[in-house]
Chains A and B, each alone.
Chain A
Amino acid sequence: MLKTTRQAVLAGAALIAFGFAADAGAQQTVKIGAVYPLSGNSASTGNYAKMAFEMGADIINNGDPELAKIFPLAKGGGLPGLKGAKIQMVIADNQGTPQAGANQTLRLITEEKVAALICCYQSAITVTASAVAEKYGVPFLNAESVAANLTERGFKWFFRTTPVAADFATAYLSFLKEQKAAGKKVDSIAIVHENTEYGNSVSSVISDAFTKGGLSVSMKVPYGANGPDVQPQVLQLKEKNPDVVIFISYTQDAILYAKTMKELNWKPAILIADDGGFNDPAFTKQMGPVTEGLISRSVFAQGKPGSVAAMMDALYKKKTGGDGLDDVSARVLQGFFVVADAINRAGSVEPAKVQAALKATDLKPDQLIAGYDGVKFDDKGQNILASTLVTQLKSSNYVAVWPKARATDPLVLPYKGW
């Protein structure tokens, strides 16, 4: 009895010693920091982002045999460029305030010693947090803030993968011009937008881009968000009967517009909804059946079966328990893999080497989760290949219909509605 116990203890000790030795020999951990809104107004988005990060780290650390066939970083066993170092995500809460964002960024840099940062969803927080990273000289990747001036600050450590508002406007412009060339009528265009910052700024970016590109916006209908009734606006549209209507609205208004247009029995030939409320699962679930053929934009579309995007989407559904990747979570996950790829190529966690590797990033579309033309940064740190897909609502699901090269379904016009 005594003997067996002693043997067991010895064996145990040997195992532990061996385990430690193995750990010390081969592995090291690469910490990547992420500062996202885990509480406050955007907590839901932040928590979906957190799941995307955890899934990304899991893919690199533990691998996925199916995905590994087309996606080299999914082989498992950590980052090959760093002798199999595992990735550890250190996620902090920015509480939706620029102050907390900057404070947490400082903590991740100085206490957690992260090799790089991915941050912060809200543009306002990205401003203060990236300023801290810039002062410390730590690579900082932003995956989803669209404020144009973020890349105009002369920062050396700032990289942004997402397209900005002007890119979305350009996408609509090219899309509509293509329709015009194909013989569709796009002569009169109306923009209906909610009248605070979001609606006003997007609306002016779109109309500027259209005017420069040779399409003119013939009417603008601003309205107060979350109002009880949008009949006056829809009647105004019905009277002028434009060929194309572009909506910039939050969820509740999006639902109201869809209902009211059906009640008043009016629809344009092309109905575009700029992301926002019309992409919310609450909208597609409730209003999908009466908005068949609605056009929107998203950087994410499931893509063809067997593609990186489709397989990541399936993994994400498993992670979240049903919710697939969407416009935001796809951008977040893409940001994560851009950073992981750069650290892997740098073969080091030294900031200057990671920065150099980020600058040299050149990812091809077939390696991407988001529907960009690639990832390649200019001198300001903006991804010059960032672009968006035009999607269309079919049977309550958005599918990619433009550009043709990445379309999974044919475009169906005119707008069907109900």
Chain B
Amino acid sequence: MTKSLVTASKLCVERGNRRVLDNISFTINKGDIFALLGGNGAGKSTTLLTFLGFVKPSSGEAIINGIKVEEDIQAARGQIAYLPESANLYAHLSAYENIEYFLSLAQISRSSQEISLSLDDVKLAPKMRIEPLSSYSKGMRQKVAIALAMLRRSPLLLLDEPTSGLDPVAIDEFNTILKALADAGTTIFMVTHDVYGACEIAKRVGLLQQGKMASVFEAVGETKISAEAVHQAFRQSQPS
């Protein structure tokens, strides 16, 4: 039986007089990939930040693994590995050093072998691993970030536009890694513009429109979500 790991229940967020999120509800089951799509300013990032506790909902609840974010931000964050948009880790540090640094801050200890293994998983060339990140391509940096997220072994991976600015090959590689992670049991909640990529890997795709959840698509069994249908709905959701 699959249990839901992430629950948004009637989430509302207000900025000034404007409702940025309006009564959003959804659940993500363990080991699923949930992709939130939507136009610019639809409220995707706000939803993500609400789960991280950076944004306080005016009403409704964000729940991760049974923990209400509002009640215990630190415990909720403990459940999350977060990858900000175009994750810039420290340019002066190498892949190893970045990972070691963030892990020590998160007070997680991993052997250097485990770090190497996770860098193997994301297919980062071994000779690059000791170079500072300033010499990396964007795709390579994203790999380090995902390796870091994997090493945290958090039940939930939160991704903000993870593929923006990556070339098609890098996007493919990245999606493969995500898929493998989900198969291994990690729940993935991502916000993205990439309709086709999302449909390729996600179990469910939510479409946000001006703070409201316009529609939700779900892959049934082995059948993937139809990108065409999502695209169609996306276009209709945009105010002309």
Do the two chains bind? no
